[in-house]
């Protein structure tokens, strides 16, 4: 893996040096200016976040490791699920989607070796039928991932099931995706009959928590400060960093909030019986802030039961992030095992085109041009 990273770094440097000098000189100048501007933005945001942090504390929105001590883990078994895809082609209106899904199962919890299951395929997409092939490819991969979720639910084995990404995925409506949405909701409900499912979102682009704070805080000055933060990722990274400067090294997480009414897509999930709860978690100062999406079949009316239902899930996430890792081990392994890298997709695509070569000179010429 280290050698692979070195090769990628060498490739980046080579392509950097291959760029035309005049173009490169101008881009470097602009990059420096943008870097200086980003530094000023971060300094400004850091000043803004102090009062927001105090407001969060005053409203008991920030929880720590001590809150996890009163709950116990319910299942030893843990499952990680992730998928990936690469899109190649396009010439002649035909695209090839290379996609795979991996499911990693730790039957005996932290003390055992994982069992790994794979699904992989190549599908063709016609550009005449799909206006945006990238979206169609995403839907193919997500459907395969959802099938892996559903199949685990059929097993009726209690477990913590962690998926790489949000529960509502994709987090926007896709044209003609009604069947997929129905299938995904069915799969989640099947899992929830015996297990817990957790979406581990590495790079959240939403502003759920910003909007939540904006609604519960009454200070207009604080509301103006919140408007500066366009995404939850920026806000939570700043808040947690501010807390870390006070010397805290143990896990932090936010109060879980119900986002089932946040937009029409989440409302659709709610209408199908799935309430989405979300919170932000950071294990220690060196790990990134994760958003955890947790679906529930029924809205929990009692606040005490609500926290009890959520806290054991946070405890599991904390347990499964090993020292030196950024993400829970089942999620990390599922991501690595399912990952189709660019070079792999390129090689497979060339193999398809090469095998398609015919003896007819005209056909050979056409395939060479399409390649």
Q: Which two tokens mark 121?
A: 């395929």
Q: Are 98 and 348 in contact (CB under 8 A)?
A: yes
pLDDT at 304 over 60: no
Q: What's the CA gap between 96 and 81, in Å, rounded?
A: 23
Measured CA to CA in angstroms, residue 121 lies from 83, 338, 350 at distances of 12, 12, 16
Cα-Cα-Cα-Cα dihedral of 230, 232, 233, 234, to 10°? 50
Domain boundaries, the chain: 64-340
The whole-number average pLDDT for the span 329-351 is 87
Q: Of the ranges 226-235, 288-297, 315-324, which one carries the lowest mean pLDDT score?
A: 226-235
| Whether this model's pTM surpasses 0.85 | yes
pLDDT, position 111? 79
pLDDT, position 1? 62
Q: Which CATH class is domain 64-340?
A: alpha beta
Percentage of the residues of the chain whose pLDDT score is greater than 90? 43
pLDDT, position 47? 76
């Amino acid at each position: 893996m280290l050698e692979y990273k070195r090769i990628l770094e060498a490739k980046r440097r080579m392509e950097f040096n291959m760029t035309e000098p005049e173009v490169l000189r101008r881009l470097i100048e602009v990059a420096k200016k943008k870097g200086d501007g980003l530094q000023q933005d971060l300094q400004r945001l850091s000043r803004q976040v102090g009062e927001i942090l105090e407001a969060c504390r005053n409203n008991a929105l920030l929880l720590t490791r001590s809150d996890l001590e009163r709950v116990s883990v319910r299942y030893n078994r843990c499952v990680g699920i992730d998928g990936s895809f690469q899109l190649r082609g396009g010439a002649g209106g035909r695209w090839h989607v290379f996609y795979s899904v991996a499911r990693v199962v730790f039957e005996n919890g932290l003390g055992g070796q994982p069992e790994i299951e794979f699904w992989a395929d190549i599908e063709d997409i016609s550009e005449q039928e799909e206006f945006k092939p990238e979206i169609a490819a995403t839907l193919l991969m997500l459907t395969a991932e959802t099938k892996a979720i559903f199949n685990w639910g059929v097993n009726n084995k209690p477990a913590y099931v962690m998926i790489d990404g949000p529960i509502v995925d994709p987090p926007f409506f896709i044209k003609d995706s009604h069947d997929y949405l129905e299938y995904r909701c069915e799969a989640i409900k099947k899992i929830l009959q015996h297990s817990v499912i957790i979406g581990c979102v590495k790079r959240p682009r939403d502003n759920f928590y910003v909007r939540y704070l904006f609604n519960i805080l009454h200070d207009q000055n604080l509301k103006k400060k919140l408007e500066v933060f366009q995404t939850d990722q920026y806000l939570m990274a700043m808040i947690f960093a501010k807390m870390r400067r006070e010397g805290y090294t143990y896990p932090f997480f936010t109060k879980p909030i119900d986002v089932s009414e946040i937009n029409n897509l989440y409302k659709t999930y709610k209408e199908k019986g799935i309430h989405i709860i979300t919170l932000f978690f950071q294990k220690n100062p060196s790990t990134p802030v994760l958003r955890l999406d947790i679906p529930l079949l029924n809205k929990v009316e009692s606040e005490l039961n609500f926290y009890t239902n959520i806290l054991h899930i946070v405890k599991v996430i904390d347990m499964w992030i090993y020292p030196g890792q950024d993400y829970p081990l089942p999620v990390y392994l599922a991501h690595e095992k399912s990952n189709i890298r660019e070079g792999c997709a390129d090689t497979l695509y060339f193999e398809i085109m090469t095998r398609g070569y015919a003896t007819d000179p005209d056909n050979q010429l056409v395939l060479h041009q399409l390649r």
